[in-house]
């Protein structure tokens, strides 16, 4: 992933256009435009906007984690399957009993952290390519999960369903949680040593190592954070769907979509540059696309074609000015 | 002896081991007919892996091959509409489509500087969408016999091997072309050079953009070929290509290709494809549930790559 | 550090392995009461207009819908789980054509496609309810439990009609579906038992585990096979993949010498299974497929001993008819409306086989009288 970074040429400092802001404005404009042109202005009222933001939560949480990993110059393809594991584990442990809620949450986060640790160790210690390491671990997770559970397992008590369905006034807890998470992540990236090290490792792993940074710990840390967010996303989905099933992660295509929104948001796949708000703007774009396609009554198949085109266009818009060679 | 050991592809050894176990469980596979059937089943993946190898060596990924296989089968059924007279120009049209898709992939990566993961992800979505839009979600026609013969025809009463599936012939042709292209031409050397260090290759005068476009075109053409075989063997279906791109990448990787580019062999890719096919067959025979096959695939993948990385560190 | 790496997967693996037996009992797909209820339904004569099974019902009672009465024409919204398989594609075309038939009563028909994602379908339903642009909402749920809260919330604001899969609440005005999986299993297993020679070997081909509609088919069939001492040599998952199906059938023929009958939980790969017999030089088995045209064509061409059960796609017409009735205040069958679930037998085959229709077209579509037939469904 960062083959060009072993001997880092000092490439010209091009100005990355403020991708997050552009995306945000573009998405908002699209949403408003479609709502007006189809006469569905009620979608612009509070409830409609809240519904739009709600679409962002599941992908948004895990995409924040994916941002960390990609910043480090790695990638995580196991998140979709980990989300499934988290959702199933949570509802299985809870079995509808409120007293087991804390146990379930702790267990899910623990398992997620372990998976992240393994991913990070595979990449940094065993030097396995991140693509393969996380593809492999994802397959292993999915296989073990599907072999043990073939359908929804257990259920989530009403109290826990509040995570997905509860609200503070008009704003759902889950949306508030997403933005709090984003703020935390942003602080972690911009104001801590870990964040600085993360950018360094992603930008030039060899140089960072020579500068005394423990690159393996940084990479492991990034993977652990990513897996933790996958666990949280799984918990949210278990709450929203009232139970966890082995296919929730796969069906949501959270692996490829989280990578797509991170890159669309301006974070370079080679690592070293980007941020959390760009990712969220990418997630907003996807949510707006979903809502807009519904409003425009676009049928399923043209949607796919358009989505593919938009993914490429959203990234090409700022990469085409790059003077670096892409692979 | 160590020198020879280092040259033998690990995937080949693993494949033979798996196949031996398969043979123990189901002696049919050790007979020539059984072996030929196995090879016929492995042919599409081996062809996909051969094409994907070019892209991997150049440092990229082609995630769109699975959807291109689906488009080939669906498109094939729409174009031929059960009329054998349509087969040849339908096949030509499908290859032309593959050429376009490969060209788009390569151009987006080369000129728009978009990383191939994103570019081919976008193509994956769009090609799937096109296949669905064209067929309305369900393929409209039957594939005529002369289209299906590539995947399904078997020559009987052949000396030594008893039966000889046409699919193996197709695969042999593809292998020969790929082997020559990758290891026997200047173009092949340029692909390695671009994968190893694109900037250096460019400074040395290599037209990096043309190389990039060429490798994606090769991968796409291989995908169309694999699609013709799969459509021939299995008949019409809607989701025949799902997941094949990851399997193709896995096959190459198990066979020793490096994901950062610059290293890989065709023999390795083919051996990797055979190994994966043997693994799936073995697990089906052992009665393992489908999900555990995914687990096994994941374990093999990690072990293969970790081993390769370890070997590289040992030998520098 | 190195040791830790090995402990972790071992622990997770053990945990999941321990969980397995509990998981197996999580959802009951083998309910003897449901089985008996299905048997009873299959014996019933449907009531309703002759020749229009999508308007007929097996038992059930009428519900009063006068409280939903509104002046027309109506705006109807549809939350679709997805169109990711040919069965749903045919059904969706049926539904759209039905809307055309009732165009004088329907002002607008909006559909949202959830692409097989529960999370998205919940958001889609919420958006429809919130938009205020729907007089009635039709839902085809992606999964039963997950969609229940969204449907419950929707019921409070407008009349909801559910079909195909149900939800865990009786708040919708009606839930339309045919007899269901148990019925399919009964119909197909009874057929095989009646035709199978003594000591005959049956191979069961299934698509995926854990899918409610498919699990009930297998559990019912397996029950009947066990009761009759039928020798089922294997029950394998094909994943709906033609190549894999062929591999499995070939391996089983090699292992067992011959296979007398093939039971399938869906017809998607039936033709591939039959081709595997051809490729191995074996005589065709007794086979139960489904009402796809490619299977019917092969059945007729090769003179097979076969039957085609159906999970009829005409059930996609009924919710639209019901929605309009509800909004007019006319009574509909509820809270559960059971449609007939016919099978195609040797005697009926000629009525349904049509090689001008696409191979994956479902013959029991009730669509011959709908506008646009046959081109709209891809036929000539």
The enclosing domain of C79 has a CATH number of 3.40.50.2300
Collapse the DSSP code of B255 into the 3-class scheme (helix H, G, I; strand E, B; otherwise coil) and give the result: coil
Whether residue C215 is found in the same domain as residue C168: no
Supply the pLDDT for residue A297: 85
Share of chain C above pLDDT 70, in %: 93
Q: Does a structural domain hold residue C101?
A: yes
Whether B261 has its CB under 8 Å from any CB of chain A: the answer is yes
Tell me if B294 and A139 make a contact (CB, 8 A cut-off).
yes
Interface test with C, best of A81, A151, A217, A236 (most C CBs within 10 A): A151
Does the pLDDT at position C114 exceed 70? yes
Average pLDDT for residues A151-174, to the nearest whole number?
A: 87
DSSP state of A5: G
Say whether both C224 and C285 belong to one domain: yes
pLDDT for B216 equals 97
Residue B174 has pLDDT above 90, yes or no: yes
pLDDT in tens, C219-244: 999 999 999 999 999 998 888 889 88
Would you say residue C178 has pLDDT above 90?
Answer: yes
Look at A161 and C120 and tell me if their CB atoms are within 8 Å.
Answer: no
Range of the domain at C191: 181-309
Residues of chain A with Cβ-Cβ distance to B130 below 8 Å are 305
Nearest CA distance, A161 vs chain B (angstrom): 29
pLDDT (0 to 100) of residue A326: 77
Q: Is residue C25 part of a domain?
A: no
Facing A241 at nearest CB: one of C115, C118, C132: C118
| SS (HEC) of chain C | CHHHHHHHHHHHHHHHHHHHHHHHCCCCCCCHHHHHHHHHHHHCCCECCCCCHHHCECCCEEECCHHHCCCCCEEEEEEECCCCCHHHHHHHHHHHHHHHHCCCCEEEEEEEECCCCHHHHHHHHHHHHHHCCCCEEEEECCCHHHHHHHHHHHHCCCCEEEECCCCCCCCCCEEEEECCHHHHHHHHHHHHHHHCCCCCEEEEEECCCCCHHHHHHHHHHHHHHHHCCCEEEEEEECCCCHHHHHHHHHHHHHHHCCCCEEEECCCCCHHHHHHHHHHCCCCCCEEECCCEHHHHHHHHHHCCCEEEECCCHHHHCHHHHHHHHHHCCCCEEECEEEECCCEECCCCHHHHCCCCCCCCCECCCCCCCCCCCCHHHCCC
Whether residue C151 is found in the same domain as residue C230: no
Residues C46 and C173 in one domain: yes
- Please report the pLDDT score of residue B2 as a whole number: 55
Number of domains observed in the structure of chain C: 2
Band of pLDDT at residue B237, cut at 50, 70 and 90: confident
Residue B57 in this model has a pLDDT that exceeds 90: yes
The answer to the question of residue C159 being in a domain is yes
Note the pLDDT of residue B307: 82
Mean pLDDT of A84-99: 92
Name, in order, each residue with C-beta under 8 angstroms of C375's C-beta and a sequence gap of 6 or more: none
Chain C within 8 Å of B240 (Cβ-Cβ)? yes
Q: Does residue C295 share a domain with residue C193?
A: yes
Cβ contact (<8 Å) for C117 and A251? yes
Q: Architecture of B41-311 per CATH?
A: Orthogonal Bundle (1.10)
Q: What's the pLDDT band for B177 if we cut at 50, 70, 90?
A: very high
Whether chain C has a CB inside 8 Å of the CB on B235: the answer is yes
Report, in this order, helix, strand and coil percent for chain A, each rounded to 5.
Answer: 75, 0, 25
Residue with tokens 């008590």: A157
pLDDT at B137 over 50: yes
Give the per-residue pLDDT at B309.
Answer: 79
Judge whether residue B315 has pLDDT over 90: no
Q: What local confidence, expressed as pLDDT, does residue B139 receive?
A: 86
**pLDDT class of C14 with cuts at 50, 70, 90:** low
Same domain as C63, residue C128: yes
Question: Distance (Å) from the C-alpha of residue B146 to the closest C-alpha of chain C?
Answer: 16
Whether B122 has its CB under 8 Å from any CB of chain C: the answer is: no
Whether C279 sits inside 8 A of B290 (CB atoms) is: no
Residues within 8 A of C (CB atoms), B 53-82 only: 77, 82
Does residue C187 share a domain with residue C124?
no
Range from A137-146, B46-55, B285-294, C281-290 carrying the lowest mean pLDDT:
B285-294
Q: For residue C375, what is the nearest residue in chain B, using CA coordinates? A: B140
CA distances from A113 to A120, A130, A224, B287, C12 (A): 10, 17, 5, 33, 12
C30: in domain:
no
Give the tens place of pLDDT for each residue, A266-301: 888 777 788 899 999 999 999 999 999 888 888 888
B37 touches chain C (CB under 8 A): yes
Question: Mean pLDDT over all residues of chain B?
Answer: 89
**Which residue of chain A has the CA closest to C89?**
A300
- pLDDT at A3 exceeding the cut of 50: no
pLDDT at C118: 92
Interface contact flag, B133 A320, Cβ < 8 Å: no
**pLDDT value at position A14?**
45
Based on the domain organization, do C197 and C155 belong to the same domain? no
Q: Both C164 and C212 in a single domain?
A: no
Binned at pLDDT 50, 70 and 90, residue B7 comes out as low
pLDDT at B1: 53
Average pLDDT, chain A: 88
At B83 the pLDDT is 86
C357 domain-assigned: no
Average pLDDT, chain C: 89
Evaluate if residue A150 carries a pLDDT over 80: no
Nearest-Cα residue of chain B relative to residue A250: B243
pLDDT for residue B6 is more than 50? yes
pLDDT digits (tens, 9 = 90+) for C48-95: 999 999 999 998 899 999 999 999 899 999 999 999 889 999 999 999
Chain A residue nearest residue C114, CA to CA: A300
Q: What is the value of ipTM here, to two decimals?
A: 0.86
Domain annotation covers residue C363: no
Mean local confidence (pLDDT), B138-145: 87
pLDDT at residue B5 tops 70: no
A326 lies within 8 A of chain B by CB: yes
> A136: nearest CA in chain B?
B298
Task: Assess whether pLDDT exceeds 50 at residue A9.
Answer: no
Asked if the Cβ–Cβ distance from B142 to C361 is below 8 Å, we say no
Determine the residue of chain C that is closest to B153 in CA distance: C279
- Does residue A12 surpass a pLDDT of 70? no
pLDDT-derived band at A174 (thresholds 50, 70, 90) equals: very high
Contact C360 B238 (CB under 8 A): yes
Closest to A245 in 3D by CA, of A93, A89, A129: A89
In this predicted structure, the answer to whether residue A232 has a pLDDT above a threshold of 80 is yes
């Amino acid at each position: 992933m960062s083959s060009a970074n072993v001997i880092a040429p000092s490439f010209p400092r091009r100005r990355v256009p403020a991708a997050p802001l552009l995306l945000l404005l573009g998405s908002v404009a699209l949403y408003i435009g479609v709502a007006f042109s189809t006469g569905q202005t009620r979608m612009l009222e509070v409830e409609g906007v809240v519904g739009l933001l709600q679409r962002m939560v599941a992908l948004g949480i895990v995409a924040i984690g994916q941002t960390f990993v990609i910043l480090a110059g790695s990638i995580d393809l196991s998140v979709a399957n980990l989300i499934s594991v988290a959702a199933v584990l949570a509802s299985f442990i809870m079995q509808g009993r409120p007293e087991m809620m804390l146990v379930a949450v702790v267990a899910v986060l623990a398992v997620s952290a372990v998976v992240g640790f393994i991913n990070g160790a595979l990449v940094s210690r065993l030097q396995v390519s991140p693509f393969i390491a996380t593809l492999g671990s994802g397959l292993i997770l999915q296989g073990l999960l599907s072999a043990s559970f073939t359908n929804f397992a257990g259920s989530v008590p009403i109290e826990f369903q509040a995570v997905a369905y509860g609200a503070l006034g008009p704003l759902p807890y889950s949306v508030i949680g997403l933005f709090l998470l984003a703020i935390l992540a942003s602080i972690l990236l911009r104001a801590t040593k870990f964040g600085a090290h993360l950018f360094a490792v992603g930008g030039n792993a060899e140089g960072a190592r020579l500068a005394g940074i423990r690159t393996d710990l940084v990479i492991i840390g990034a993977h652990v954070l990513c897996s933790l967010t996958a666990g949280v996303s799984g918990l949210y989905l278990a709450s929203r769907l009232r139970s966890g099933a082995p296919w929730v992660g796969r069906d949501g295509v959270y692996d490829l979509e989280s990578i797509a929104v991170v890159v669309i948001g301006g974070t370079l796949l080679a690592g070293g540059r980007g941020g959390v708000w760009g990712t969220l703007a990418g997630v907003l774009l996807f949510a707006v696309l979903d809502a807009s396609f519904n409003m425009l009554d676009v049928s399923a198949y043209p949607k796919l074609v358009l989505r593919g085109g938009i993914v490429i266009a959203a990234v090409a818009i700022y990469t085409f000015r790059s003077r670096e060679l892409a692979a | 002896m160590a020198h020879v050991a280092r040259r033998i592809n690990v995937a080949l050894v693993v494949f033979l081991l798996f196949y031996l176990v398969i043979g123990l469980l189901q002696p049919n596979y050790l007979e020539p007919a059984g072996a030929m059937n196995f090879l016929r089943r492995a042919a599409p993946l081996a062809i996909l892996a051969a094409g994907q190898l070019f892209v991997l060596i150049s440092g990229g990924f082609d995630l769109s091959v699975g959807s291109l296989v689906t488009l080939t089968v669906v498109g094939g059924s729409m174009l031929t509409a059960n009329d054998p007279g349509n087969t040849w120009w339908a096949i030509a049209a499908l290859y032309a489509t593959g050429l376009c898709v490969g060209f788009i992939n390569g151009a987006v990566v080369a000129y728009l500087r978009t990383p191939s993961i994103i570019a081919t992800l976008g193509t994956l979505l769009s090609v799937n969408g096109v296949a669905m839009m064209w067929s309305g979600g369900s393929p409209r026609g039957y594939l005529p016999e002369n289209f299906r013969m590539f995947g399904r025809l078997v020559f009987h009463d052949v000396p030594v091997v008893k039966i000889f599936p046409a699919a193996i012939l197709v695969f042999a042709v593809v292998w020969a072309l790929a082997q020559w292209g990758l290891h026997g031409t200047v173009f092949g050397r340029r692909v390695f050079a671009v994968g190893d260090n694109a900037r250096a290759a460019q400074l040395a005068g290599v037209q990096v953009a043309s190389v990039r476009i060429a490798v994606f075109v090769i991968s796409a053409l291989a995908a169309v070929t694999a699609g013709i075989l799969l459509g021939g063997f299995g008949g019409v279906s809607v989701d025949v290509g799902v997941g094949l791109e990851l399997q193709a990448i896995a096959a190459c990787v198990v066979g020793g290709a490096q994901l950062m580019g610059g290293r890989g062999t065709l023999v390795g890719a083919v051996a990797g494809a055979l190994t994966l096919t043997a693994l799936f067959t073995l697990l089906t025979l052992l009665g393992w549930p489908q999900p555990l096959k995914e687990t096994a695939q994941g374990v093999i993948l990690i072990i293969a790559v970790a081993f390769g990385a370890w070997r590289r560190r040992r030998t520098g | 550090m190195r040791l830790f790496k090995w402990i972790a997967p071992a622990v997770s693996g053990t945990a999941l392995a321990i969980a397995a037996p509990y998981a197996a009992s999580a959802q009951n797909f083998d309910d003897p009461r449901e089985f008996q209820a299905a048997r009873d339904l299959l014996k019933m004569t449907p009531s309703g207009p002759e020749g229009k099974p999508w308007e007929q019902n097996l038992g059930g009672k009428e519900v009063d819908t006068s409280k939903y009465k509104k002046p027309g024409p109506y705006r109807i919204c549809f939350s679709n789980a997805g169109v990711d398989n040919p069965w749903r594609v045919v059904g969706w075309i049926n539904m759209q054509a039905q809307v055309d038939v009732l165009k004088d009563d329907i002002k607008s028909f909006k559909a949202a496609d959830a692409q097989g994602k529960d999370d998205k379908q919940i958001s889609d339903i919420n958006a429809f309810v919130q938009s205020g642009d729907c007089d009635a909402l039709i839902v085809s749920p992606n999964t039963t439990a997950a969609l229940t809260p969204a449907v419950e919330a929707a019921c409070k604001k407008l009349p909801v009609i559910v079909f195909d899969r149900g939800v865990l609440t009786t708040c919708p005005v009606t839930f339309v579906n045919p007899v269901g999986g148990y019925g399919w299993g009964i119909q197909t297993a009874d057929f095989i038992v009646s035709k199978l020679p003594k000591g005959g070997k049956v191979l069961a081909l299934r698509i995926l585990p854990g899918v409610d509609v498919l699990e009930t088919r297998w559990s019912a069939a397996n029950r009947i096979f066990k009761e009759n001492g039928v020798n089922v040599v294997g029950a394998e998952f094909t994943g709906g993949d033609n190549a894999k199906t062929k591999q499995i059938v070939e391996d089983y023929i090699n292992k067992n010498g011959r296979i007398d009958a093939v039971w399938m939980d869906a017809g998607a790969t039936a033709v591939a299974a039959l081709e595997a017999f051809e490729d191995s030089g074996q005589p065709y088995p007794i086979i139960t497929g489904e009402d796809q045209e490619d299977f019917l064509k092969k059945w007729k061409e090769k003179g097979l001993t076969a039957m085609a059960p159906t999970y009829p796609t005409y059930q996609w017409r009924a919710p639209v008819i019901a929605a309009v009735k509800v909004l007019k205040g006319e009574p509909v069958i509820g809270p559960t409306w059971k449609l007939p679930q016919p099978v195609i037998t040797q005697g009926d085959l000629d009525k349904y086989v049509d090689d001008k229709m696409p191979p994956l077209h479902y013959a029991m579509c009730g669509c011959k009288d709908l506008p646009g037939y046959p081109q709209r469904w891809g036929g000539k």
